[in-house]
Amino acid sequence: MHIVLFDNKHRQKLYPLTQTRAVADIRTGILTNKERWEYISGTEVFVLTEDYLQPLYNDYVSGDILLIDASVIFNEEQARKILQIPSSYYVSYSKGFIAGRFTTNEKFDFAALNNLSFDKLINWKEEVTRLDYAWNIFQHNDAFIKNDFALITEGRKSQPIDASNTVINPDNVFVEDGANISCSVLNASTGPIYIGKNATIMEGCLIRGAFTLGENSLLKMGTKIYGATTLGPNCVGGGEIKNIVMQANSNKAHDGYLGDSVIGEWCNFGAATSNSNVKNTAGVVHIWNEASKAQIAVGQKCGAIVGDYTKTAINSSINTGSVYGVCCNVFGAGLLPKQFNDFSWGAEDKYDLDKAIADIENWKKMKHQTLSEVEINVLKYLYSSH
């Protein structure tokens, strides 16, 4: 059986994260949904997304296919039930199709999802979390971290933690091989703390769970972390951080506050950049949704949703409920506008594509990576669509 995670028709509601990745590749908790299904199933998981993004992923073979909505986040017990779906059955709940199993002799594309048919229905009555909008990621991150922590640490033993640290509820802390933690406070009484391989926590950091620090990531001296926070692989954290999800390869390395936000890959926040996550009136925050072309109520707390490759200048002041698209160079005096479209250069100009690609390549060199031809083609596609 081949597991295929597909993007549903509402994928653009997760803008700007889905401009540059399939929904299955969005990090929630410790893992992406693709990684989560690979942990649970023990097999390779394939991805079906829009044509311009499909070259980022492996093709899958025909045969026995289990098709699963990538925007639905299951716990381990629920996922194992999905793996037992019989052939020709599909699963649906109040928000629609969840999964279905079928056999085919041919590959099918993103458009063909609308033409699939199944013989029998299974009504799913258990509660699941679906990523309808990008802000759902930080709103549910506490539960996501707890579920992932249980999944990937079960039956395993944490590496020892240096005696220079203060650890509260050590049974709820897991440290992978090669991680280095010095003279810091790890308080896991409010949720688990997971430290990835070769990650570093410098002296004087104050951490409250739930928290995950990805492989090769770094917390700089004196960082203050409030849960539920995820810093993905190859990230840098500093200053004050609360309830954010940073996908991977991004930096918030200096003093300043970042809270109740979702940050893409290859982003950089200039020194003293801070965001507002609550209105002065304590009223409901509304945020622009590109797919709906409307302002949508989020709740009392929402900072920023930031697309891949976007950077802010030093001393940037990010407004409550902001949305920054892909590859923006964000700067300006005072409180910044709440919306920057893809490839914005400041509030009024557009980033030159060749310069944008060259700048991204420079940033990737700093983390010993390169920009692939496939990634460049995705950027060219997005640029031409504006």
How does pLDDT run across 93-113, given as a tens digit for each residue? Answer: 988 899 999 988 877 777 777
Report the alpha-carbon distance of residue 308 to residue 326 in Å, rounded: 5
pLDDT score recorded for residue 79: 95
Q: What per-residue confidence (pLDDT) applies to 33?
A: 97
- At 158, the pLDDT band (50, 70, 90 cuts) reads very high
Mean pLDDT of the chain: 95
Looking at residue 147, its pLDDT comes to: 96
Q: Give dist(CA 170, CA 125) in Å, integer.
A: 36
Instruction: Name all domains of the chain by residue range, CATH numbers in brackets.
Output: 2-130 (3.90.550), 136-347 (2.160.10.10)
Give the model's pLDDT for residue 62.
78
- Section 19-45 average pLDDT: 97
Give the CA distances from residue 173 to residues 125, 149, 154, 158, in Å, rounded to whole numbers and listed in that order. Answer: 33, 9, 12, 8
- Averaged pLDDT for residues 132-147: 97
Q: What mean pLDDT do residues 310-317 have?
A: 97
Three-state secondary structure call for residue 207 = strand
pTM: 0.95
Residue 116's pLDDT band (cuts 50, 70, 90):
confident
Integer Cα distance of 236 and 217 in angstroms: 6
Dihedral, CA of residue 48, residue 51, residue 57 and residue 61, to nearest 10: 60
Predicted confidence (pLDDT) at residue 280 exceeds the cutoff of 90: yes
